[in-house]
Structure 1
Amino acid sequence: MTSTAASCLLFLTMKSFEEAELCFPELLNSSCRKAMRPHSVSILTYILLTSISLITVTLNLLVIISISHFKQLHTPTNLLLLSLAVSDFFVGFLVFFQIVLIEGCWLLGDLMCILYYVLDYIITSASVGTMVLISVDRYVAICDPLHYPNKVTQKRVKICVCLSWICSAFLQTLLLKDNLEQPGRYNSCFGECVFVINYVVGLADLFLSFIGPVTVIIVLYMRVFVVAVSHARAMRSHTAAFSIKCSVSVTAKKSELKAARTLGVVVVVFLVCICPYFCVALTGQDTLLNASTAAFVINLFYFNSCLNPVIYAFFYPWFRKSIRLIVTLKILQPGSCGTNMR
């Protein structure tokens, strides 16, 4: 009797331990298993991702409110920053969803799984498109300053931003069409969140969403850098002879050079953060990465959205001033939208 009782106790203990490892303990034969890791590591990851999510959402919300509210900030360049802030704002919520996947279990259902990936792809694609527009904006401002006010208007920028988001939504929805029609069709067990795309389509998306845009960004900013350096040298020179040689058409305002430098930092940080993610996808080595490396690459990709407002705070006095006005609630005063932000 003692031996039988001990065997039953051992069986129940093993059964409980086995169930504790399952995403859905009630589905013994079809549930995915949880990723077993130390409790302290899970807690630290929860705190880190929650902090990144909250900071990203808060900072980008400040950027959105600042540019939307203050009329003096309604410039073509700032409209592009507004588009970038909107995409970064949504990334903050996507980071929050990463918390759900810490234990390797997706508990929100198949439909939410595919919607998560669709939203992720749309935001990523729109961010890259906005970076291309920022590069074009700086290229025209530095290399063709005389025609910049006529070529780059608020109306044209709004149209370009809207087209960027619409094209991103259309392309990514088309890309994940099969997954949207039948959510969870590629899951091997309950609690898994995966999607599959055609190799050719995926390769085309990689070119349209990464290789092509990044090539355009690098080429344009290399040109901007060369011209900006020559303009900086021209402005440092006060000799009459040099002033005569420099035509007005290649003279850029100091503010435009500063904007080019600031946005150049934004672009470089963006490339540093997203390149590891896309390079892994490009080489097809994602299956060879361990969990820690994969998590680092993904979180570095998301962390870029938290860095952009920090860069603005360092380089843009108007952003620091707007934060003070928002935090002190002076933004609620009548006529605050006309505040001088310079």
Structure 2
Amino acid sequence: METLEGTELCFPQLFNNSCRKTKRPHFEAMLIYILVSSISLLTVTLNLLVIISISHFRKLRNSTNLLLLSLAVSDFFVGLLMFFQIMLIDSCWFLGDLMCVLYQYLAYIITSASVGNMVLISADRYVAICDPMRYSTKVTQKTVQGCVCLCWTGSISLQSLNLKDNLKQPGRYNSCSGECIIGINYISGLADLILTFIVPITVIVVLYIRVFVVAVSQARAMRSQIAAVSLVTAKKSEIKAARALGVVVVVFLICFCPYYCVALTSPDNLMNTSSATFVISLIYVNSCLNPIIYAFFYPWFRKSVKLIVILKILQPDSCDANIL
């Protein structure tokens, strides 16, 4: 009887101090493992292709694509973190309290950096569509690089303050061995909610509503052949880019909003990974969907992936290839 009960524990040798495993039928458990592993591998692979494409081909190194590169980096790390999430499928964490806190710390940094990248993408499209004549002077590569660095630095600083108690004393909120839980006090949780959800999402929605209105009016102007005499008319390519990135933003909002809604309505500030499986899974799926959206809307991404797969990027001067 003791042996049977021991098999249900994360650490059978610890008896009463060990957390219990989540009981699942073997087929269901294997299906979940295969599904999560496949999504993780696909996320890492697709975002790595985006990173290689923009980093390798010189003609892709424009301001907008630098923002996509930053987003792909955060999505790439999300795919890597999914491998750790696999261990939590049976509600057991075997890597110790320190690794648990570092895992959660990285997850928070990447999440807030992704939100910041979306704000930058929305601002980029706002200037490109609403003020096209001054876009090239306002949005330079140096400006974008500075904004991206500020985004990542701000995310690291914010989450370091947010999780400082957990970093000082890993495992302080765990009730048993094999649990991976972090605790956030009310003030820190409220600040994080405002700075990484309410304010950024409001900015994203307002900017894209403005972009949508202006893009529709300019598309009508093009059809009526007024665009040639209008000084504020954006190029068709800019409108197409706004449409494609608009899809990215909408998918992002659909995938991220449930997570923050759960965090907002939670009776306490303890985020138990097992209780938040669905909303966290949506964030992971979003990171996998972004490169698929690029493949659907951007011919340059499809061309660059083809060159990468057939190893033509290893040829001399391949970085100068015209894939636009």
Tell me which interval the TM-score lies in, with the shorter structure as reference length. over 0.9
Residue 318 of structure 1 corresponds to 300
Residue 17 of structure 1 corresponds to 4
**1:127-276 → structure 2 map (5 Å cutoff):** 127-238=114-225, 242=226, 247-248=230-231, 250-276=232-258
Residue 281 of structure 1 corresponds to 263
Deviating more after overlay: 324-333 vs 183-192: 183-192
Amino acid at match of 1:298: I
Amino acid at match of 1:68: S
* Cα distance in 2, alignment partners of residues 70 and 274 from structure 1: 31
* Cα distance in 2, alignment partners of residues 331 and 278 from structure 1: 41
* Cα distance in 2, alignment partners of residues 176 and 210 from structure 1: 17
* Cα distance in 2, alignment partners of residues 243 and 63 from structure 1: 34
Distance change in 2, residues 1:290/1:243 (3 Å): closer
* Cα distance in 2, alignment partners of residues 290 and 203 from structure 1: 18
Aligned-pair identity in percent equals: 71
* Cα distance in 2, alignment partners of residues 188 and 268 from structure 1: 38
User: Per-residue CA shift, 1:273-315, capped at 9, x if unaligned?
Assistant: 111111111122689x999984222211210000000000000
Correspondent of 1:32 among 15, 19, 24: 19
Give the superposition deviation at 1:89: 0.1
Amino acid at match of 1:117: Q
Residue-pair matches, total: 323
Distance change in 2, residues 1:105/1:55 (3 Å): same
Distance change in 2, residues 1:258/1:160 (3 Å): same
* Cα distance in 1, alignment partners of residues 188 and 272 from structure 2: 26
User: Per-residue CA shift, 1:77-133, capped at 9, x if unaligned?
Assistant: 000000000000000011111110011000000000000000000000000000000
Question: Secondary structure in 2 aligned to 1:26?
Answer: helix
Structure 2 contact 97–171 (Cα < 8 Å) conserved? yes
User: Per-residue CA shift, 1:117-158, capped at 9, x if unaligned?
Assistant: 000000000000000000000000000000000000000000
* Cα distance in 2, alignment partners of residues 79 and 243 from structure 1: 29
Structure 2 contact 180–273 (Cα < 8 Å) conserved? no
Say whether 1:48 aligns with 2:31: no
TM-score by length of 2: 0.97
* Cα distance in 1, alignment partners of residues 288 and 108 from structure 2: 18
Say whether 1:73 aligns with 2:54: no
Residue 109 of structure 1 corresponds to 96
Correspondent of 1:126 among 113, 116, 120: 113
Structure 1 contact 280–286 (Cα < 8 Å) conserved? no
Correspondent of 2:50 among 63, 68, 80: 63
User: Per-residue CA shift, 1:213-250, capped at 9, x if unaligned?
Assistant: 00000000000000000010011113xxx458x531x1
Question: Secondary structure in 2 aligned to 1:195?
Answer: strand
Distance change in 2, residues 1:106/1:85 (3 Å): same
Name stretches of at least 5 consecutive residues in structure 2 with no aligned partner.
Answer: none
Deviating more after overlay: 296-305 vs 70-79: 296-305
Structure 1 contact 61–89 (Cα < 8 Å) conserved? yes
Structure 1 contact 23–105 (Cα < 8 Å) conserved? yes
* Cα distance in 1, alignment partners of residues 268 and 26 from structure 2: 26
TM-score by length of 1: 0.92
Structure 1 contact 228–257 (Cα < 8 Å) conserved? yes
Distance change in 2, residues 1:139/1:110 (3 Å): same
Superposition RMSD in Å = 1.7
Deviating more after overlay: 182-191 vs 255-264: 182-191
Give the superposition deviation at 1:30: 0.7
Give the superposition deviation at 1:334: 0.2
Structure 2 contact 130–214 (Cα < 8 Å) conserved? yes
Say whether 1:308 aligns with 2:295: no
* Cα distance in 2, alignment partners of residues 293 and 176 from structure 1: 20
